[in-house]
A and B are shown apart, each in its own frame.
Chain A
């Protein structure tokens, strides 16, 4: 269902002119309720979705944000909230060129964990009737100890209506979703890994009971019309989304692009790994939007992490192109399903129908000819 309008506010309650952009609040007013998106770039990039009544408003206590629990909140309380953050990056040395991250082999020579950038800069913010777009670039300015150079660029976009993004991987989005595009550009680290690849740790949190969890599904489809060369779709759904369609989900195509000019040639695969529980969450997530919003509820709510690695066997590792772009949607409700487009269905029915028709007609023609020959014979014999 399309929302009536989108309104974006930068640093709500403090104003846009303040030192740096840390928070963008987008309000999507629907017919029955309001969906809020909070995009935060304080320490880890985080997307928070909150479903509230029309009357509910966001309030941020800036002096305590984000150190104190509940320094950011909605009043009245939301019906449902769901958050996703990119918690950290990993660099691993894929010596056997498998394209897969092996977390059981956790040692200095194989894997390095990279904290999120310490400095974020807003590159673009756009708001129109149909969508809101925010582009941020993070770099490691203060801490050069591990990352020598490189930019982590994140584009967040939310849409008034459902549809497909115009650029690859052309993910399908509903009106209740934010699309996040993560690109790692010109990354150079002190690891000296010859065959380095990157992976990201994603954290999902929701105000569902800790008994509920996140269910991964990998769909294979025949149709790669939207995302050429990609035939699968990965979904992580919370229990509430899976059972009642009233929960959060994330959805992505297992493809990463290795150039700004996106096409099949410039693409590689992604892999995701088992869903993990997070131990000692309050200390790990301290100082992020997650802890500022959920507070101690994190210990009793749904809280999971999943790793996604970028690259596949034989693609020449990260160093070949020095860029990886991965796109994911974070939404509320039931993940949208792809269908064959009308055009494909038309051509398919033509292509399979025509030969069938030809065979039928030629069969009939032959039968008819046989019969008419026989008649001729009879006629002659008279």
Chain B
């Protein structure tokens, strides 16, 4: 059974009177009122800032590749370690981090801890550079990887928590474009910063100092997580938003019970993204050789995918918010991307056209696809779910990027494009299958925005009705003192109902044990 959406409760407090009373202390001004747009907007800014530091620092080595290699006396294969030690461990740690956030820390503490991990990781990298210890830098990237990727998971979860049923698609789009801004800013400012610092320091000390300066951005992100945590707490308190009101305990084994539609969304996500990121990584030579571009032009064409998506993904997000119908949106965006790859592969048309189209498709997909997870997974498991999704994506990308290198070296770029088209076909088929599956299971994924609102309302009132029925129907004879002390959760009531009709409950469903063993952790 699904829980009552926590997000709904942010904006739909259990009792209007209570919340209004409490808000009077703050003067009820709009910027302090957790219900107001401005409050949520502030939260949004912080949510975007939260990821900025890690996106900025992620590409520091790439922006300073030549300086890195000459100052630290490393070769290209060693340089690649800085990235592989970031990405491979995160495949596992995304899931672990998302799960810990659901189960142990809660989102607020979890986010702060992950941001702290990022700060530590980035500082260790900088320290490694100052001491000229390459292994220390790699270790720092490892810590950074754990922090950075789980922070991304936390960011997604926050977005759902605050914006579900409102501007969620737009928020996902905006977060993505902000990530792009972070990495773009990095590429444009690191070089000048390095030149400025090199007036005072030289060699590996210079690189180290530059990296320390870069790590300031992660401290800003850490601060924003702390403020966000405070805001979230306040919103919860004022709006009487119950944390984990169901009392359901998240387990790592819940993963196997995730609905089929979730796994298909993850598959579509991987199949789609492998046709974007590895292409951009390998694209430069393709543009130079096939379209006779200069290296600078090729870089511009290559980055246009990100530039366009940075602008258009919030816009597409707004459109999806207004229209709903996420599946149609994904379907169209995959078609657009297929068209763009086909243009690049089978024509000599100016590649600006193809890559711009790809940027549009990519941003459309990102704002349509990620929010779908929040529609098929209950609130209290969202951290785990986004963690799994991120992990699957990272694993897929890491493996496919290796495969793409092999394909290009042996079969050329035409084969690579054909391979990307095949991946996109898989994504397309998956979306169609999700549509068919979903329309047999309520069809929430492809509802229009209006229908979805009605659906959510009905679902909640149906649940409320169900609970009232259960409470009313039950006799009071078996009520324990603990029942009186604890709020009645769906889980609780369901279990009591089940045990009363004589159904066997799994051992971990034992209510008393649950109350003792897991409450303290939350």
- The residues of A with any CB-CB pair to B shorter than 8 Å are 220, 222-231, 263-264, 269, 313-314, 344, 347-348, 350-352, 354-355, 358-359, 362
28 residue pairs of the A-B complex, CB under 8 angstroms, read: A222-B348, A222-B414, A223-B414, A224-B290, A224-B412, A225-B411, A227-B412, A228-B408, A228-B409, A229-B408, A231-B289, A263-B409, A264-B408, A264-B409, A269-B289, A314-B295, A347-B422, A348-B418, A348-B421, A350-B425, A351-B418, A351-B421, A351-B422, A351-B425, A352-B342, A352-B421, A355-B338, A355-B428
Pick the most buried of B412, B415, B425: most chain A CB atoms within 10 A of its CB: B412
Distance between Cα atoms of A352 and B347 in the complex (Å): 14
Do B415 and A225 have beta carbons less than 8 Å apart? yes
Distance between Cα atoms of A352 and B339 in the complex (Å): 9
Closest A-chain residue to B338, C-beta based?
A355
User: What B residues does A225 contact at CB under 8 A?
Assistant: 411-412, 414-415
User: What B residues does A314 contact at CB under 8 A?
Assistant: 295
Pick the most buried of B342, B409, B414, B428: most chain A CB atoms within 10 A of its CB: B414
When each residue 378-413 of chain B gets 1 if its CB lies under 8 Å from chain A and 0 otherwise, what string results? Answer: 000000000000000000000000000000111111
Shortest CB-to-CB span from A306 to chain B, Å, is 20
When each residue 423-460 of chain B gets 1 if its CB lies under 8 Å from chain A and 0 otherwise, what string results? Answer: 01100110010000000000000000000000000000
Shortest CB-to-CB span from A358 to chain B, Å, is 6
Determine which of B294, B348, B408 lies in contact with A313 in the assembled complex, contact meaning CB atoms within 8 Å: B294
Distance between Cα atoms of A351 and B348 in the complex (Å): 19
User: What B residues does A269 contact at CB under 8 A?
Assistant: 289
Do A362 and B411 have beta carbons less than 8 Å apart? no
User: What A residues does B408 contact at CB under 8 A?
Assistant: 228-229, 264
User: What B residues does A351 contact at CB under 8 A?
Assistant: 418, 421-422, 424-425
| B286 is an interface residue with CB less than 8 A from chain A | yes
| B345 is an interface residue with CB less than 8 A from chain A | yes
User: What B residues does A229 contact at CB under 8 A?
Assistant: 285-286, 289, 408, 412-413
Distance between Cα atoms of A229 and B282 in the complex (Å): 11
Shortest CB-to-CB span from A220 to chain B, Å, is 6
Do A344 and B418 have beta carbons less than 8 Å apart? yes
Do A222 and B346 have beta carbons less than 8 Å apart? yes
- The residues of B with any CB-CB pair to A shorter than 8 Å are 285-286, 289-290, 294-295, 335, 338, 342, 345-348, 408-415, 418, 421-422, 424-425, 428-429, 432
Shortest CB-to-CB span from B511 to chain A, Å, is 46
Pick the most buried of A224, A269, A350, A352: most chain B CB atoms within 10 A of its CB: A224
Query: What 4 A-B pairs are tightest by C-beta distance, nearest first?
Result: A224-B412, A228-B412, A351-B421, A231-B290
Closest A-chain residue to B291, C-beta based?
A231
What would 17 more interface pairs be, CB under 8 Å, given A223-B412, A347-B422?
A222-B345, A224-B290, A224-B412, A226-B412, A227-B412, A228-B413, A229-B286, A229-B412, A230-B289, A231-B413, A264-B409, A313-B295, A344-B418, A348-B418, A351-B421, A355-B338, A362-B432
Closest A-chain residue to B286, C-beta based?
A229
User: What B residues does A344 contact at CB under 8 A?
Assistant: 414-415, 418
Do A358 and B429 have beta carbons less than 8 Å apart? yes
Shortest CB-to-CB span from B446 to chain A, Å, is 12
Distance between Cα atoms of A226 and B285 in the complex (Å): 16
Shortest CB-to-CB span from B463 to chain A, Å, is 30
User: What B residues does A354 contact at CB under 8 A?
Assistant: 425, 428-429
User: What B residues does A226 contact at CB under 8 A?
Assistant: 412
Distance between Cα atoms of A351 and B409 in the complex (Å): 21
Closest A-chain residue to B341, C-beta based?
A351
Do B428 and A228 have beta carbons less than 8 Å apart? no
User: What B residues does A263 contact at CB under 8 A?
Assistant: 409
Task: Evaluate whether A224 and B348 lie within 8 angstroms (CB atoms) in the complex, with A230-B289, A352-B342 already known.
Answer: no
User: What A residues does B342 contact at CB under 8 A?
Assistant: 352
Distance between Cα atoms of A125 and B94 in the complex (Å): 59
User: What B residues does A228 contact at CB under 8 A?
Assistant: 408-413
Distance between Cα atoms of A341 and B152 in the complex (Å): 43
User: What A residues does B345 contact at CB under 8 A?
Assistant: 222
Closest B-chain residue to A99, C-beta based?
B294
Distance between Cα atoms of A352 and B432 in the complex (Å): 16
Shortest CB-to-CB span from A302 to chain B, Å, is 30
Determine which of B346, B414, B424, B432 lies in contact with A224 in the assembled complex, contact meaning CB atoms within 8 Å: B414
User: What B residues does A358 contact at CB under 8 A?
Assistant: 428-429, 432
Shortest CB-to-CB span from A366 to chain B, Å, is 11
Closest B-chain residue to A314, C-beta based?
B295
Shortest CB-to-CB span from B470 to chain A, Å, is 36
Shortest CB-to-CB span from A168 to chain B, Å, is 9
